[in-house]
Amino acid sequence: MSFINYALKEINCKVIYWGPSLSGKTTNLKYLSETYDPKEKGDFISFNSNDSESLIFDFLPISMGEINGFKTRFHLYSMPGKIKYDMSNKLILKGVDGIVFVADSQRERLDANIKSMEKLESYLIDYGYEVDKMPMVIEINKKDLKNSMSSDELSKRLYTENLKSFDTVAQKGQGVYDVLKGITKIVLEKLKT
Ligand SMILES: Nc1nc2c(ncn2[C@@H]2O[C@H](COP(=O)(O)OP(=O)(O)O)[C@@H](O)[C@H]2O)c(=O)[nH]1
Ligand SMILES: [Mg+2]
């Protein structure tokens, strides 16, 4: 749930990068943390699951300029994606304003993508969200690899043809900012209504 601080004139939104293990979620946040205007971002916090059993997500806070005199801040999170951390995967969705579904476009990861999407939907329903109304974009990552599926085919298999999708090579930063702009735009549009 976005948090509006009227005294400080700030809007805070929570965006989660969700997807199967190794799809490139951390790579997205890492790239943003390395390239975003240093004055407009906070510290990138990345918890490796080997180091810590309880804190296993990545976190990057960024500012995105002003809307109607309110400073907008986005708190970007990623989840680990491993079944082992199922409880934390679910908990991180609490209060979410927008989701970037990072799909691994390699054909052999199709099942993992589908399972991850099913999990996401069931958790959102558990929290009482209307899945259709949740701001969400699809990132089709690893487009540099030979066995990569087309965004059309993958979107069909994920039943997300109605959502905006972006082809990316997160490892090289390609498309990472398009995805960020895509999701923040939808989140802010929803906030206005
Ligand atoms: N070939 C290729 N590899 C990628 C791309 N994006 C990420 N990777 C690699 O995929 C692996 C998993 O990425 P990571 O961001 O840790 O995945 P996460 O589990 O979703 O956080 C790493 O070795 C990345 O370097 C990409 O666009 N193309
Ligand atoms: Mg990760």
**What is the rounded CA–CA span in Å between residue 165 and residue 92?**
23
Considering only CA atoms, which residue is closest to atom 14 of ligand 1? 24
Query: What is the model's pTM?
Result: 0.93
Counting ligand 1 atoms within 8 A of each CB, the residue from 28, 144, 171 with the most, and so the one to mutate, is: 171
| pLDDT at res. 92 | 87
Tens digit of pLDDT for each residue in 40-99?
A: 999 998 876 554 444 567 899 999 988 888 899 999 999 866 666 677 778 889 999 999
Residue 179 has pLDDT above 50, yes or no: yes
Residue 3 has pLDDT above 90, yes or no: no
- Angular region, 24: left φ>0, alpha ψ -120 to 50, beta rest: left
Give the atom of ligand 1 at the shortest distance from the alpha carbon of 80: 19
| pLDDT at res. 54 | 45
| pLDDT at res. 82 | 65
If one counts every other C-beta atom within 10 angstroms of the C-beta of residue 178, the result is 15
Q: What are phi and psi of 55, to 5 degrees?
A: -110, 105
- Give 37 Cα–ligand 1 centroid separation in angstroms: 23
Tens digit of pLDDT for each residue in 14-47?
A: 999 999 989 999 999 999 999 999 999 999 988 7
Ligand 1 neighbour 170 (Cβ under 6 A): yes
Tens digit of pLDDT for each residue in 107-122?
A: 999 999 999 999 999 9
Ligand 1 neighbour 113 (Cβ under 6 A): no
Ligand 1 neighbour 26 (Cβ under 6 A): yes
Ligand 1 neighbour 175 (Cβ under 6 A): no
